[in-house]
Amino acid sequence: MEMTQALALLSQKPELVTTFPEWLLPSTLIANLKNMEGVALAEIAGRDSVAAVLKATEEHPIKSVLPTIAYTGTEFGDWERAVATSRFVAERLQGSGVVVFDPLFLGSPRFWWLLCGRYISALFGRFGFYTPCLGCHLYFHALRIPLARLTGASYIISGERERHDGHVKLNQVAPALDVYREFVGRFDVELLLLLRDIHSGKEIERIIGQQWQEGRGQLECILSKNYQDENGVMSYDEEALRRFFKEFAFPIAEEVVRAYIEGESPDFETLANAIQLT
């Protein structure tokens, strides 16, 4: 990948969901992927995403991996770190018989806005809580579904875990992970959450094959830890969380993804104006 072109693209963060520049996703590669068996899209972020890909290729009939780096509008840091992580995956799988392609950037800030930003006040009123992180992780998974359909990928590999050495992230609690899997499955793609029950960072390092501090080498988010109080404590109402997905995020994301799959450009303004939360 030519990083000069990639960084120019990331300075604008355009709509990249089903249509990509030829230099980023060549039409010949799309055609080749469609004719391959065992194609998987890999979410690339930090060390957990690496461990997830390695574990997936051991446990599933995956023959080729397309690394994907998704953007919203809230990240900051060095984007070359994510590309380096993708290269690390390719190096670890060298000689395994699994083909790892160059990483692909994708994103739709307007989709993220609709799902996570537009209705903050109204969502507080409707459900009694709000965090963008739940909708954001649903966005990450939903965003890759049209690409999976475009390339014929059977799997989306994710490194989400319920616990991180005793710490819990609200976007990765059990009810949220259940929703993500159910959502992706509706589109005949399987979301692999093979690290879900791995709580130890040491076990993640064992899978990777080297020491790797959590958070090192990955982008940061300006909204990090927004669901914690001033003492770093997180609490949530599971029923309210489930309602948030069922009554708002799930149906909105489904409508957007179906539009993408049908070859349409979602009209985010119209969708936003049609939402009733009172």
Asked if residue 1 has pLDDT above 70, the reply is no
pLDDT over 90, % of the chain: 86
pLDDT in tens, 141-190: 999 999 999 999 999 999 999 988 778 889 999 999 999 999 999 999 99
Confidence of residue 257 (pLDDT cuts 50, 70, 90): very high
Distances in Å between the Cα of 175 and the Cα atoms of 5, 243, 266 are 39, 11, 28
Residue 40 tokens, joined: 């998987």
**Going along the chain, which residue ranges are E strands?**
39-43, 64-71, 75-76, 99-100, 104-107, 155-157, 190-192, 220-221
Alpha carbon distance 250, 142 (integer Å): 10
Domain coverage including residue 149: 3-108+132-231
Residue 238 falls inside a structural domain: no
Residue 139 falls inside a structural domain: yes
In this prediction, residues 227-254 reach a mean pLDDT of 92
Residues 6+ away with beta carbon under 8 Å from 208: 47, 50, 51, 54, 92
Alpha carbon distance 253, 141 (integer Å): 10
pLDDT in tens, 85-95: 999 999 999 99
Mean pLDDT value across the chain: 94
| Res 211: pLDDT | 81
Residue 116 falls inside a structural domain: no
pLDDT over 70, % of the chain: 99
Write out the DSSP string of 225-249.
TTTB-TTS-B---HHHHHHHIIIII
In this prediction, residues 220-224 reach a mean pLDDT of 93
Per the structure, the count of domains in the chain is 1
User: Beta partners for 221?
Assistant: 75
User: Beta partners for 67?
Assistant: 42
Alpha carbon distance 209, 159 (integer Å): 16
Confidence of residue 215 (pLDDT cuts 50, 70, 90): low
Alpha carbon distance 136, 116 (integer Å): 6
Q: How many residues does the chain have?
A: 278
Residue 165 falls inside a structural domain: yes
Alpha carbon distance 20, 24 (integer Å): 6
| Res 91: pLDDT | 95
Say which residue the tokens 């083909």 belong to.
Answer: 99
Say which residue the tokens 């709580």 belong to.
Answer: 199
| Res 16: pLDDT | 97
Residue 187 tokens, joined: 């589109």
Residue 126 falls inside a structural domain: no
| Res 11: pLDDT | 94
| Res 232: pLDDT | 86
Query: pTM (2 decimals)?
Result: 0.96
Element (H or E) spanning 9, and its range?
Answer: helix 3-10
Residue 101 DSSP code: P
Residue 244 falls inside a structural domain: no
Is 13 within 8 Å of 107 (Cβ atoms)? yes
Is 216 within 8 Å of 80 (Cβ atoms)? no
Task: Point out the least confidently predicted range of 105-119, 228-242, 250-264.
Answer: 228-242
Residue 120 falls inside a structural domain: no
Residue 155 falls inside a structural domain: yes
Q: CATH number for the domain including 142?
A: 3.40.50.620
In this prediction, residues 31-47 reach a mean pLDDT of 95
